[in-house]
């Protein structure tokens, strides 16, 4: 049986008509930039996460850039980022002329608080804490940052709906950054993102920065850019937000079945976390051979991520992060999306168990 890693057509099938109607309403409205549709989604997302303020953005990477800009990060500054994640946090720091300082990871793939503490120096101005694969990072990251007087930017791109002790990812630090890339748990039909914060002044600055630093129009207080959320994507996301918790529960059920039936250990779930399983990742000493065998059987998998950021050519000369670099050689993501059928998951489980040598 062929098993896709994710099938977005299948994901959207249950509420496709609602999405089409929402998009058609935007087209009929004649309001194609900002407007009430964006405002409604921002309000709905703020209500969902419990954040006092939510600011729509063009994508998750731009959300990170805006957060850093709003905190006045620039040349001469250092920002702590995890060594094992997508490149966006580090690239956003570097594009502002600041230096990303890489922190090694813990057993749950998040930033290691003890290594983080050793990397804080006189030039450190902020921390980007990534809630990787769908669960909140170690809360000690926030404790270490607080003790050093550093603001924490939460990269919650993969963790919409995830909570720690009932508090949503994106509401634990100074500002939260979300991505609604189509394959995310809450995915748009293109690029889109969101910022969350409890700081009214910071929210106002973020709104200005996303629209060329202006307030009112044509009066520019900061050097911003065009980072606005598209109304059509906001309309799509307004529909899909209603179904997010149910879809995340399906992911959790799929993860629980992997946990009980695979012959290898699944991901570590931290205490007091609700994990939304954007990805279900296992570690295999013979990862590449297993992946090739699964592909031969029609089972699609992905590698997140094949290289630690310390190994990327653009960051050559970065200090090693051994655990991140070792993880990149072993990690493998299995299909976990909510549309995965029981028979497809049977195929994945059988294929993995037949090819894993304990």
What is the mean predicted confidence (pLDDT) over 287-305?
96
347: three-class secondary structure by DSSP:
helix
> Which helix (DSSP H) or strand (DSSP E) does residue 41 occupy?
helix 36-49
Residues above pLDDT 90, as percent of the chain: 99
153: three-class secondary structure by DSSP:
strand
Q: What is the pTM of this model?
A: 0.97
88 phi and psi angles, rounded to 5 deg:
-50, -50
CATH of 8-241, one of 3.40.50.2000, 1.10.20.140, 3.40.640.10, 3.40.50.300: 3.40.640.10
Examine the pLDDT at 262 and tell me if it is beyond 70.
yes
Q: pLDDT value at position 357?
A: 58
In order of 152, 167, 293, the CA distances from 147 in angstroms are 12, 21, 48
Please report which residue ranges of 210-341 form alpha helices under DSSP H: 231-241, 244-261, 287-296, 322-328
Q: pLDDT value at position 207?
A: 98
175: three-class secondary structure by DSSP:
strand
> Which helix (DSSP H) or strand (DSSP E) does residue 179 occupy?
strand 175-179
Q: pLDDT value at position 280?
A: 98
Q: pLDDT value at position 171?
A: 98
Give strand pairing partners of 233.
none
341 phi and psi angles, rounded to 5 deg:
-85, 165
The secondary structure of 86-136 as a DSSP string is: -SHHHHHHHHTT-EEEEE-B-TTSSBPHHHHHHH--TTEEEEEEE-GGGSP
Q: pLDDT value at position 145?
A: 98
In order of 115, 148, 304, the CA distances from 82 in angstroms are 10, 17, 14
For the chain, give every domain's residue range: 8-241, 244-355
Examine the pLDDT at 146 and tell me if it is beyond 70.
yes
What is the mean predicted confidence (pLDDT) over 269-291?
97
What is the mean predicted confidence (pLDDT) over 212-228?
96
What is the mean predicted confidence (pLDDT) over 40-65?
98
Distance in angstroms (rounded) separating the CA atoms of residues 38 and 317: 42
CA dihedral 116, 119, 305, 251 (to 10 degrees): 20
Q: How confident is the model over 88-144, as pLDDT tens digits? A: 999 999 999 999 999 999 999 999 999 999 999 999 999 999 999 999 999 999 999
Check whether domain 244-355 has CATH 3.40.50.300, yes or no: no
Examine the pLDDT at 358 and tell me if it is beyond 60.
no
Q: pLDDT value at position 124?
A: 98
Q: Are 42 and 54 in contact, with CB atoms under 8 Å apart?
A: yes
Confidence category of residue 356, pLDDT binned at 50, 70, 90: confident
8-241 against 244-355: fold identical: no
């Amino acid at each position: 049986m062929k098993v896709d890693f994710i099938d977005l057509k299948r994901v959207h099938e249950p509420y496709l008509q609602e999405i089409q109607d929402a998009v058609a309403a935007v087209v009929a409205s004649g309001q194609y930039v900002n407007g009430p549709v964006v405002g409604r989604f921002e309000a709905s997302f703020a209500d969902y996460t419990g954040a006092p303020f939510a600011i729509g953005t063009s994508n998750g990477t731009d959300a990170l850039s805006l957060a850093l800009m709003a905190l006045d990060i620039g040349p001469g500054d250092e920002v702590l980022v995890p060594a094992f994640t997508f490149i966006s946090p580090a690239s956003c720091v570097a594009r502002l002329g600041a230096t990303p300082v890489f922190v090694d990871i813990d057993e749950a793939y998040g930033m290691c608080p003890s290594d983080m503490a050793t990397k804080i120096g006189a030039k450190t101005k902020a921390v980007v804490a990534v809630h990787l694969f769908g669960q909140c990072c170690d809360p000690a990251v926030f404790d270490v940052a607080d003790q050093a007087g550093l603001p924490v930017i939460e990269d919650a791109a993969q963790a919409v709906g995830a909570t720690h002790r009932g508090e949503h990812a994106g509401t634990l630090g100074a500002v939260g950054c979300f991505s609604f890339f189509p394959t995310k748990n809450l995915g748009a039909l293109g690029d889109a993102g969101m910022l969350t914060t409890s700081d009214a002044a910071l929210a106002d600055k973020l709104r200005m920065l996303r629209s060329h630093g202006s307030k009112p129009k044509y009066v520019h207080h900061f050097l911003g850019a065009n980072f606005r959320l598209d109304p059509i994507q906001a309309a799509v996301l307004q529909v899909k937000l209603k179904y997010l918790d149910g879809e995340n529960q399906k992911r959790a059920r799929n993860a629980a079945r992997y946990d009980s039936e695979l012959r290898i250990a699944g991901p570590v779930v931290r205490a007091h976390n609700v994990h939304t399983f954007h990805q279900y990742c296992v570690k295999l000493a013979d990862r590449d051979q297993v992946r090739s065998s699964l592909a031969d059987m029609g089972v699609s998998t992905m590698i997140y991520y094949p290289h630690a950021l310390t190994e990327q050519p653009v960051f050559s000369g970065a200090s090693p992060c051994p655990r991140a670099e070792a993880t990149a050689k072993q990690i493998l993501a299995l299909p976990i999306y909510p549309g995965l059928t029981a028979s497809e998951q049977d195929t994945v489980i059988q294929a993995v168990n037949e090819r894993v040598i304990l």
